[in-house]
Amino acid sequence: MYITLIWLPLLGSLVSGFGGRWLGRYGANIFSTTCVISSLILSLLIFYEIGLCGVTCQLSLASWINVGSLSVKWGFMFDSVTAVMLVVITSISSLVHLYSISYMETDPHCPRFMAYLEIFTFFMLILVTADNVLQMFLGWEGVGLASYLLINFWFTRLAANQSAIKALIVNRVGDFGLSLAIFTIFYVFSSVEYSTIFSIVPFFQYYYFSFLNFKINSITAIGLLLFVGAVGKSAQLGLHTWLPDAMEGPTPVSALIHAATMVTAGVFLIIRFSPLIEYSFFVLRTLIIFGAMTAIFGAMTGAFQNDLKRVIAYSTCSQLGYMIFACGLSCYNVSMFHLTNHAFFKALLFLSAGSIIHAVSDEQDMRKMGSLIKILPLSYSVILIGSLALTGFPFLTGFFSKDFILEIAQVSSYSNLNNNFSGLACWLGSLAVFFTAFYSFRLLYLTFINNCNVSRVKISLIHESNLLMLIPLIILALGSIFIGYLCKDFFIGPGTNFWGVSIFNLPSYTNQIEAEYLPVKIKWLPFFLSTLGIILAIFLNISIYRWYKNVQYYNFLTFLISKKWYWDSLYGKFLIRPILNFGYSVSFKNLDRGFIEIIGPYGLMKIIPSWAGMLKKIQTGQITHYLFFTVLGLCFFSIVLFLTSANHLFISVPFILYSVLLFFI
């Protein structure tokens, strides 16, 4: 059952990818969807067995690498974190498969699309089920590769190519950090297996290794390098630029990769390594700072975007920030809970956005939509549910996880735990709540309620999607309503033993109990802020007199934010272009084609004919000149003989020969 779950998507991918021309469109669709739905059923069984019955399972298939003390096996470990991730991945993937059968109906490359989706699911499963870091890295890189293939699915589009390359390369920066982390792990612990590493971490708490004559705490170094990996994959501030651009792929791809699975890999990594990260104060603080800044950055930027998918992409970025700083506050289970809930409502948002885009003839700009509420009531209701869940409306899914994250942040800033950084996280997170509500309802207003800005020809074509697209939406909407409530006691209930040993908390960092007993008025804060955001969004959009349009500072600010705080331009100007210039002018033109060629073939080719020409000029044809050189040579010879035989001068034969040579040159 355990291995079947993993191999089924690979089988589906290979069959629908290589056999697509024989299976045909529907054959490939049905086969791959069946495979992934079987995986879903198996993963639900596994969730029952591991999560509810409390059994963990570890399988070791074969030896992979066996060199010296490095011994890597093909091993699979199924514990609570893995089980949750399995359910998330396979359920979102199944729904996306179902959805894209209909969404990609008119696309000529349907089997290829299905194969890519399946291979993505497969690598994601490898990532979460691995029992050693190396195999996890296989899944990690495979997910990156699959994301490249999927974003670049419409490979004739230039923008899709560019975005896919950007996604791959920016991810690769993080991957480099992760591979360094793996090297460091092996150097410090002499093992790459989770069980070995995690059991001996406490002994290495004060272990320093020397690098470039600096003494570096091994745990902190490993944690930071792992975090670099997570920054790349989970689009934290700094390497987030790939995520919004990855919206060039088809919408189901965005739902699968950029909402539910791939971006959660970074958070999963941090959660998986909780026994290690927990021992490094510094890494935890870094997580808090980066997570909080990503949360506020994503939320603010999302509030001023005009592309429907980009708003949701920045929302993802922001929610990932929440997850990361929840990890920084040592509440890995809350982070995992938010990850699960977020997967459901973000997949819902993306898929309903896809449904809207599909309806208005592939128009993505929100300013060219409006008044769709009458024509697309079902899309409206599901996206409303998704948005309310996202803003943390009470008793929807987002409420249970997101508000709890904020409560935990408030605990540490209110009590005498003396954690200054979580005060930062608390304020930035709360502000992000406000902006989250603002952009969600701005999106809803511009798309559904605003005056209609769709052209007349397109209006006549607008229709609700067919049932195959609506069923996943409805399932996800139900999930967005109920998952949080149903799973609350598993995941973050007081004293829950659901997680077993898969998540580790130092007792001194445990602060979830305090979060339950916060003053009520503080607990209301996120709700008030999100209500304020909703009211502001509605007010700004329905007020007829747009007073704010003419305020200079406002315009400057909105321009700045809608240009994503100039991250991309600054990166382009100060990082990408200098590197490209360096590559072209220094390493290519000056080194490869310049220096090495001049001292190599090209230079010799130029210099030998010129020397030969000079030597040739000596032979004038005049007999007297020849005689002159004959006698001169005789004189030189006798001088050389004289000087070398009489040892009183520091002149040797080679020196004289060189001077003769120089004379000729």
Partner 1 sequence: MYEQVNYINTSTLLFLISIIGIFLNQRNILVMLMSLEMMFLAVSFNFIFSSILLDDIAGQIFSLLILTVAAAESSIGLAILVIYYRIRSVITVELMTLMSG
CB of 615 to partner 1, least distance (A): 8
580 vs 632 by CB, closer to partner 1: 632
CB of 634 to partner 1, least distance (A): 10
**Pairwise CA distance, residues 409 & 413, whole Å:** 7
Residue nearer to partner 1 on the CB measure, 213 or 624: 624
For 119, counting Cβ atoms within 10 Å of its Cβ (0-12 exposed, 13-18 middle, 19+ buried), the class is buried
Report how far Cα 165 is from the mean position of its chain's Cα atoms. Answer: 13
Helix and strand tally (H, E) in the chain? Answer: 30, 4
User: Cβ of residue 594: shortest distance to partner 1, in angstroms?
Assistant: 34
Shortest distance, position 582 Cβ to partner 1, whole Å:
48
Closer residue to partner 1 (CB): 573 or 616: 616
Question: What does the DSSP 8-state code read for residue 209?
Answer: E
| Bridge partners (DSSP) listed for residue 208 | 217
The residue (of 417 and 618) whose beta carbon lies closer to partner 1 is: 618
70-78 and 57-67 beta bridge pairing: antiparallel
Cα separation, 639 vs 633, in Å, equals: 10
The three-state (H, E, C) secondary structure of 548-583, written as one string:
HHHCHHHHHHHHHHHCHHHHHHHHHHHHHHHHHHHH
Per DSSP, helices labelled H in 304-394 are 308-328, 332-359, 377-391
Nearest to 187 by CA among 143, 239, 222, 232: 222
Q: How near is the Cβ of 646 to partner 1 at its closest, in Å?
A: 21
Under a CB-based contact definition with an 8 Å cutoff, are residues 311 and 367 in contact? no
Cβ atoms of 499 and 81 within 8 Å: the answer is yes
**Mapped to the 3 state alphabet, what secondary structure does 595-612 carry?**
HHHHHCHHHHHHHHHHHH
Nearer to partner 1, 586 or 614 (CB): 614
Closest CA to 350 of 622, 27, 95: 95
Closest CB 605 distance from partner 1, rounded Å = 21
176-198: b (≥16 Cβ within 10 Å) or e: ebbbbbbebbbebbebbbbeebb
Distance of CA 223 to CAs 68, 177, 182, 271, Å? 26, 10, 11, 12
In the complex with partner 1, the residue whose CB is nearer, 589 or 625, is 625
Place of tokens 């100007």: 573
Instruction: Write down the least CB distance from residue 613 to partner 1, Å.
Output: 10
Tokens of 606: 């130029």
Q: How far apart are CB 623 and partner 1 at their closest, in Å?
A: 6
Alpha-carbon dihedral sign for residues 539, 367, 397, 506: negative
Backbone angles phi, psi at 535, to 5 degrees: -65, -40
Return the number of the residue (586 or 635) whose C-beta is nearest partner 1. 635
Nearest Cα to Cα of residue 93 among 193, 212, 8: 8
Pick between residue 415 and residue 619 the one whose CB is nearest to partner 1.
619
Please identify, using beta-carbon distances, which residue of 417 and 615 lies nearer to partner 1.
Answer: 615
Cβ atoms within 10 Å of 500's Cβ, excluding its own = 14
Instruction: Name the residue nearer to partner 1 (CB basis): 60 or 619.
Output: 619
Alpha-carbon Rg of the chain, whole angstroms? 32
Distances (CA, A) of 557 to 84, 103, 612, 641: 41, 37, 70, 87
What is the spatial distance between Cα 316 and Cα 276, in angstroms, rounded to a whole number? 26
Question: Is the separation of the CB atoms in 103 and 20 below 8 Å?
Answer: no
* In the complex, minimum distance from the CB of residue 624 to partner 1, in angstroms, rounded to a whole number: 6
Bridge partners of 363, per DSSP, are none
Q: Whose Cβ is closer to partner 1: residue 155's or residue 628's?
A: 628
In the complex, the smallest distance separating the C-beta of residue 664 from partner 1, rounded to whole angstroms, is 13
Quote the tokens at residue 532.
């304020």
Q: Of 436, 438, 437, 415, whose CA–CA distance to 522 is shortest?
A: 415
Kindly state the smallest distance separating residue 658's Cβ from partner 1, in Å.
24
Least separation in angstroms between CB 618 and partner 1: 7
**Using CB under 8 A as the criterion, which residues of the chain lie in contact with partner 1 when the complex forms?**
616-624, 627-628, 631
Minimum distance between the CB of residue 591 and partner 1, rounded to whole angstroms?
38
**Shortest distance, position 629 Cβ to partner 1, whole Å:** 12
Q: Rounded to the nearest whole angstrom, what is the least distance from the CB of residue 632 to partner 1 in the complex? A: 11
Nearer Cβ to partner 1 (608/627): 627
Q: Return the half-sphere exposure (C-beta side, CA atoms, 13 A cut-off) of residue 482.
A: 7
Nearer to partner 1, 580 or 627 (CB): 627
Going by C-alpha positions, the residue among 235, 237, 236 that lies closest to residue 262 is 235
Q: 585 or 619, CB closer to partner 1?
A: 619
Nearest-approach distance from CB 577 to partner 1, in angstroms: 54
Nearer to partner 1, 7 or 642 (CB): 642
Q: Residue 582 or 637: which CB sits closer to partner 1? A: 637
> 151 with 120: CB under 8 angstroms?
no
In whole angstroms, how close is the CB of 648 to partner 1 at the nearest point?
A: 25
CA–CA separation, 409 vs 386, rounded Å? 24
Q: Which is nearer to partner 1, 619 or 652 (CB)?
A: 619
DSSP letter (8 states) at residue 365 = B
User: How far is the C-alpha of 235 from the C-alpha of 258, rounded, in Å?
Assistant: 10
